[in-house]
Amino acid sequence: MVLHKKSSSFPQRPMALPVENWGEFKVTRDDKTENKISLSSVPPQKNASNFIPKDIISIPVSKIATEPVLASNTFTVQLRPGSSVCGNLELQSVRFQVPDTTIGYEQTQEAGKALVGDIRDSVSQHQKGLIEKHGGAGLDATLALAGLTSEKEHHADEKTVAIFEDVNLHYPNGRFKMIITNYKLILEQNNTSNIVSVPFPQMHNIYLCNVFHSEGEQLIVLILKKPVVCGNTFYNHLVIRCADLELDAEHPWKAELSTREDILTTLKYDASTSLKDCPLEPEMSGKISSIIVRTIKAAAKVPAFPGSNKEYAKFNPASCVATWLKSKEGFLYVVSDGLLFLTNPAMMFRFDTISSVEVDESQSTDRFFQLVLHVENVKHVFKSIDRKEKEPLLSFFREINLSVNHLNAFGEDELSSDEEEESDEDADEEYSEGSDDGSLDDDDEDEEGEKKKKDKKRKRSKSRHSDKKKKHRKDKKHKKDKKHKRDKKHKREEY
């Protein structure tokens, strides 16, 4: 099949993607070598006789994470993490576009369906080979298929440590079977072929957050270093929602390893490791959320933290605030090392990546305000936060020395307490310098000096406020004039 349509979707950079990005798409099947999909160059209209075709991009089927889905006239091939299919460039996915005119097909949709069907057949054939290699259907086959979405397909000494049936995930959304081995965490979605695999080196830490206005329910947030793929979507973090379920000593949860010695040996701990360092036991009782956290913490060797911050608790006992991020409603949690937005999408903003914070009341009603985070030259605007949360947040940000800008209802920068003190000190210095000799002895003269000092401060403050109001009026008029000109131009174009 020849793709005739050129596209400028690939950036023309040295040592990046190839400049040529259109050609003949092929699915190559070979019993001796691994199947692959490729896009090969096609001869130009002139000098076609001397043309030697070459692969622009070639993708072995073993590097494909999931089966592609056709959307209109495009389809995307999701790749396993660490897949280098174009030189040394690591890609997450490759999107192909079927042109309007395709040789051998009357309609674009038919050509796209044929391509996607060929790729699915090759991927299914590869998956069946893996399942047969590991003894047919069952847990071993699931572990083998989970390797398709991780950097390494299978480990010879991989063992199942724990299994949790019917786990409710909030991000991605669905019910999954969770399998924890000594190398990775696997999520197998119920009634689908979706498998999520998280190798432990990709896991950064764990947060256990209380669900806002819900008794007993908790969220387990797995902060990842690299995104993982589920279906045809990449997820930066994973969120598990746990009901208020507690197991007693008579009906405990049981791990797949029957003794403490087996657990320490399989997870490569020293025999003398304490329960604090490796909190997994063969049988555990208590809240199900706590059991899951203890199991992941022991297997992945990552720290687990509560979804709160001790410093912020001094100003507000609640650990989060209700807010909106774009069109998504959620909660912004103040945790030990950053701000965590839950639940969809789950986003983590570490304090060391936040350059400044802006509390903006100019775009809100009397009841709400918005919080703007400047993170690595990107603005994240959290809207509709209750005004009662403003002072605790401001106090906390100043406590941890974050740069804070506060815009009041008039769009004016309000001075912080430190800036006001500095302004008063400047006024005192100016008055002292302006006095004749500083040697007033009588009480009346002292009172007169104090009065002059207060009047001078009042005039400076009034002048500063007046300048801000003038600037605000000028900016407002400038915006109004720009909008008027834009509307006028738009009407002319319509006419």
- Mean pLDDT of the chain, nearest integer: 77
- Domain 151-306 belongs to what topology? PH-domain like (2.30.29)
Average pLDDT on 142-163 reads 70
- 328 or 485, greater pLDDT: 328
Domain boundaries defined on the chain: 23-131, 151-306, 310-407
The pLDDT, as a whole number, for residue 439 is 38
Read off the pLDDT of residues 3-39 as tens digits, 9 standing for 90 and up: 333 333 333 334 445 556 778 888 887 666 678 888 8
| pLDDT above 80 (res 243) | yes
- What single-letter amino acid sits at 52? I
Asked, colleague to colleague, whether 151-306 and 310-407 share their fold, the answer is yes
Beta strands in 112-264, from DSSP E residues, in sequence order: 160-171, 173-181, 184-189, 195-199, 203-210, 218-230, 233-242, 246-247, 253-254
> By the 8 A CB rule, do 339 and 323 touch?
no
Query: What is the distance between the alpha carbons of residues 95 and 440, in angstroms, rounded to a whole number?
Result: 83
SS3 161: strand
As a whole number of angstroms, the distance between CA 262 and CA 476 comes to: 70
3-state secondary structure of 216: coil
Q: How far is CA 395 from CA 48, 191, 324, 400, 401, in A?
A: 72, 49, 22, 9, 10
Residue in the block written with tokens 């190798």: 199
d(CA 379, CA 393): 18
What pLDDT does 380 receive? 94
Angle at CA 61, nearest 5°, toward 56 and 67? 105
Quote the longest CA-to-CA distance of the chain: 109
DSSP characters over 388-447: GGHHHHHHHHHHTT--EEEE-TTSPBPPPHHHHHHHHHHHHHHHHHHSSSS---SHHHHH
Instruction: Tell me the HSE value of 426 on the side-chain side, using a 13 A CA sphere.
Output: 8
Buried b (16+ CB within 10 A) or exposed e, 348-377: bbebeebeebbbbbeeeeeebbbbbbbbee
Q: Do the beta carbons of residue 286 and residue 176 sit within 8 Å? A: no
CA distance 78 to 233: 9
pLDDT band at 321 (very low <50, low <70, confident <90, very high): very high
The correct CATH number of 310-407 out of 2.30.29.30, 3.10.20.90, 1.10.20.140, 3.40.109.10 is 2.30.29.30
Reported confidence tier of residue 399, pLDDT bands at 50, 70, 90: very high
pLDDT in tens, 153-179: 567 788 999 999 999 998 999 999 999
**pLDDT tens column, 283-320:** 999 999 999 999 999 999 999 999 999 999 999 999 99
Range with lowest mean pLDDT among 164-168, 441-445, 463-467: 441-445
Give the mean model confidence (pLDDT) for residues 404-415.
63
Q: Nearest Cα to 206, choosing from 239, 254, 184? A: 239
CA-wise closest residue to 381 among 341, 334, 336, 337: 341
Least confident interval from 233-237, 337-341, 467-471: 467-471
Nearest to 332 by CA among 349, 315, 316: 349
CATH for 23-131 is 2.30.29
Q: How far apart are CA 326 and CA 328, in angstroms?
A: 6
365 contacts 354 by C-beta, under 8 angstroms: no
What is the share, in percent, of the chain residues with pLDDT greater than 90? Answer: 39
